[in-house]
């Protein structure tokens, strides 16, 4: 596993990210960034700034614990645990969701492609009052 300054800077930035600094995303992302997660696809730094501003305006807290990191050439993977507190999810209690980010770095060291992989049900659907119980029951029946 290779830890590089660009990858470590990316992880460090996310550990400091909150609603006061979403306008600084250009420090780690290019203007043409493509961001994808199980719930969204976003093109361009302005749209990404808007997405993160909205996200952080609506959460009580969100932080990441980064685990394994691997980089080869301009590609990198990093596993993480997201620690989220949202007033409308799970009664405002803390939620932990495991995930992985696939990154592509531009020649200037910033990220131009970011794709997150995580269980959207564990983050969102299972935490909603009526739908959550149904999804948890189905998962139990399937042996998950």
The count of domains in the chain is: 1
Q: Distances from the Cα of 41 to the Cαs of 38, 99, 107, 114, in angstroms?
A: 8, 17, 23, 10
Q: Which pLDDT value is given to residue 131?
A: 54
The CATH number covering residue 27 comes to 3.10.450.50
Q: Which pLDDT value is given to residue 39?
A: 87
* Domain span holding position 114: 5-141
Summarize pLDDT for 94-135 with one digit per residue, the tens: 889 999 999 999 999 999 999 999 987 666 655 555 555 555
Average pLDDT over residues 60-69: 92
Classified as helix, coil or strand, 39 is coil
pLDDT band at 74 (very low <50, low <70, confident <90, very high): very high
Q: Are 118 and 97 within 8 A, CB to CB?
A: yes
Q: Are 122 and 97 within 8 A, CB to CB?
A: yes
């Amino acid at each position: 596993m290779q830890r590089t300054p660009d990858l470590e800077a990316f992880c460090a930035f996310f550990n400091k990210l909150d609603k006061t600094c979403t306008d600084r995303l250009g420090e780690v992302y290019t203007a043409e960034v493509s961001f994808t997660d199980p719930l969204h696809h976003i093109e361009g730094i302005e749209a990404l700034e808007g997405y993160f501003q909205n996200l952080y305006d609506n959460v009580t807290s969100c932080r990441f614990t980064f685990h394994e990191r691997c980089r080869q050439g301009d590609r990198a993977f990093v596993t993480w645990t997201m620690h989220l507190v949202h007033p409308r999810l799970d009664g405002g209690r803390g939620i932990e969701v495991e995930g992985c980010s696939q990154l592509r770095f531009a020649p200037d060291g910033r990220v131009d492609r970011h794709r997150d992989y995580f269980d959207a049900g564990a983050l969102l659907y299972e935490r909603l009052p009526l739908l959550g119980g149904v999804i948890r029951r189905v998962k139990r029946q399937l042996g998950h």
